[in-house]
Chains A and B, each alone.
Chain A
């Protein structure tokens, strides 16, 4: 079967001139066309720079796939969505769409502040491609979803921003296309409503619909999508499972904040050592993929610690201490917790690998201290050996990033009816 979306060799260039022309008047056009303008640098069109937003991008989306597109600002995500939504044309290349498409590049497109909630439902629905009959049929459902029924006949300019977003999303959530293109719309609204939207999106994606979803909310991408695509400078940088795509994105998102390999300087303010034994550390994540920067909540951290022993040691251990941004120690890993007991070795160079299968710290930046003890005495200690960033992810599979606290731990909840009468009797008996 042919893919429902087929993108081949798609490119989009902007001449910054197209934006500058925004303020170009007819007089300036004449001057430019007649070659009277002096500010014309060679190699560019009309003296204006070229910007490549998409560069020979090709990929397919199969029917029913829910695909997340991630990338830094300016990576071409929005341009891709605009081309898919037919708002702008590509410079070259083609897209084949084999199904009815609806796009949501913002919530409330076409909402008019002077119109009432009821009127805006109809207007917005029509703009998003719903037929009048469909809107009438779904009207009650939309109103119920938006929770604004008592303000239905109030102009939306009097709405709070939360109400506005709820109404707008309610209309959007009831679209029924074969292909749905969604941009960042979940970045708005209060927590409870965000969750409701995610639930609705989930429902949509389970209904066999093809969804192309762009978001900076990694938890949402992780929760909704089956497949992830990372764009970098308009090119396809990664295409694979959502988790791998997010990790790829995080690894390249802010290079230089912390490197995958950290070599330790002989002298540094944070180093308190008797002997300079620690040499370097290499960081990896799942599948021994190099870790450059961030790790999702509960991601695997493998630290390969390179060190040397100047003489044979009967008992030595290596440790890692994770400090949060308030410099509180939140977690300590040490080879002395190994059940097999102390490690012993002759003089030489070694690599100690510390494997933490699931680092369930709260999202944030952590500095990691590293040390090696020989016997009972500290031999080498580096206070700020490396840094690691834990990134929001959908740890609980609820689409919500955890908040408040230091750790993200597995949990489950169960609801039962209580036998209050029996409980009261127990209390009474205890009192007498």
Chain B
């Protein structure tokens, strides 16, 4: 009955590679952790899953009144409520995912200190659970599109690409923040502030053409710039600047890899410090 399996436990120092074999072995657990987060998020609430769509809906209504009606911000084609809602959908996914992932290690410290499994599953699972909320939000967007008689284009097939890009960016930040948060709880205060401000430097409320083109290289350093534009392009068929999207994708991938490296490096500390 003895397997040929042999595991050597010793001190890990410095940068660690990602053990893909191990991640494959534990893959079901990632699913279970996501399932758990989805199950408990809206337990014992009256509105349940409605909360997932209430937030972006309220944000869209407020933005429409203040920025569109009062300040005169124009969308780049579709009716402003649709324009804002598509952006808010992407942004809400990103900001709630990063926020939850940053606290994920601390809120799961009983797991970190009592049982072994790939630690990256904790922030990644927290983010994965929000894909459900995103799906519900997109359903509502579909309803709004029918209401406004706005057609779906073939570009919708590109949506998974932008969801993936958003996922990579939020996972990168989520992993880095959650790891640092174990040692320095300062992030608990810094992250929500950063996320609250982030919506204004991302073209959620306004289209990116409001920003002079020479600043676009700078603007796209924020990965969500490209992703929000991409969400709108794939869902509402708006025109996009592919170089801008390409740059944001690149930043997303770099963020993901950097976050993963920071996380893997700090991982050996978690159980001792948390």
Interface residues of A (CB under 8 A from B): 4, 14, 18-19, 21-22, 24-26, 29, 63, 82-101, 103, 105-106, 109-110, 112, 114-115, 119, 122-123, 126-129, 131-132, 155, 178, 208
Contacts and interface: CB of A to CB of B under 8 A. Distances in A.
A98 B10 contact: no
Contacts of B2: 4, 63, 98-99, 178
5 contacts: A22-B273, A89-B10, A98-B7, A123-B35, A132-B28
Contacts of A90: 9-11
B12 A89 contact: yes
B51 to A, nearest CB: 15
A127 B12 contact: no
A86 B28 contact: no
A128 B115 contact: yes
Nearest to A119: B39
A25 B10 contact: no
A88 B44 contact: no
Contacts of B39: 114-115, 119
A185 to B, nearest CB: 11
B58 interface: no
Nearest to A29: B184
Interface stretch (B89-97, B106-114, B163-171, B230-238): B106-114
Given A25-B184, A26-B184, A127 B29 contact: yes
A83 B9 contact: yes
A394 to B, nearest CB: 28
A98 B5 CA distance: 6
A171 to B, nearest CB: 12
Contacts of B114: 87, 105-106, 109
B271 interface: yes
Contacts of A103: 115-116
Given A25-B185, A115-B40, A87 B29 contact: no
A100 B10 CA distance: 17
Contacts of B32: 122-123, 126-127
B117 interface: yes
Nearest to B35: A123
B8 A114 contact: no
Given A25-B185, A114-B44, A123-B36, A97 B7 contact: yes
B149 interface: no
B115 A105 contact: yes
Contacts of B36: 112, 115, 119, 123
Contact of A126 (B10, B29, B110, B184): B29
Nearest to A98: B6
A164 to B, nearest CB: 14
B111 A131 contact: no
Contact of B115 (A84, A92, A99, A127): A127
Interface string B174-193: 00000000011110000000
A127 B5 CA distance: 20
A96 B1 contact: no
A63 to B, nearest CB: 6
Contact of A96 (B6, B28, B111): B6
